[in-house]
Amino acid sequence: MLALTFNNEIFNKDTDRKYQHGVVMFSLDPKSGEYILVEENIAISEDTQEYAINASNYRHWLAPMQQYIDELVKGKSGTRGKDFNTRWVAAMVGDVHRILCRGGIFIYPYDTKDAGKAGKLRLMYEANPMSLLIEQAGGQSTDGTQRIMDYEPTNIHQRVPVVLGSRNEVQYVKSLHVKSLAEANENK
């Protein structure tokens, strides 16, 4: 049996465990010291109106990510035709917990601030474990063009951009990046 656990002190020591077919959530009962099943078969909604991103790095993002956030900010008056809310805990585990509970999308995109880093989050002990949980709950995970779980690690501290959460929103972000790459290749 494959199991993955994260403890989150902020959320009453909730524990999410990934099993072979889905995600279940436990919470630590402080009186008994035992974990109590809180929810079984967690399923992330395919659509969302909630996103988490550190907007302070906007100027360093690639054009497709800037376009995506611009569309969300415009809300109903923009091309998306609906309003979006920002939620940013600034801790991936907290944001993933919220996505597991009520849907959403978490983004730590590629940026040009430090050309030597492909992203901020580490593949082996941040992006992969959270991507596994999200995918087991019906969501998706990508670096913008490639599924996170398809990466072949090159070193233990390898960094990657991360976009994960509600399936349709992640697919939309990926489509913007793929389109941008195709256009760039056409113009070569």
Euclidean distance between CA atoms 28 and 79, whole angstroms: 44
* Ranges in the chain, pLDDT < 50: 1-15, 17-19
Q: What is the pLDDT of residue 187?
A: 84
Per DSSP, 11 falls in state: G
Structure tokens at 60: 């360093």
Q: Which tens digit of pLDDT belongs to each residue from 140-180?
A: 999 999 999 999 999 999 999 999 999 999 999 999 999 99
Burial class (CB in 10 A: 0-12, 13-18, 19+), 77: exposed
Euclidean distance between CA atoms 109 and 134, whole angstroms: 17
Angle at CA of residue 104, ends 108 and 86, nearest 5°: 70
Q: What is the pLDDT of residue 2?
A: 34
**What is the pTM (predicted TM-score) of this model?**
0.87
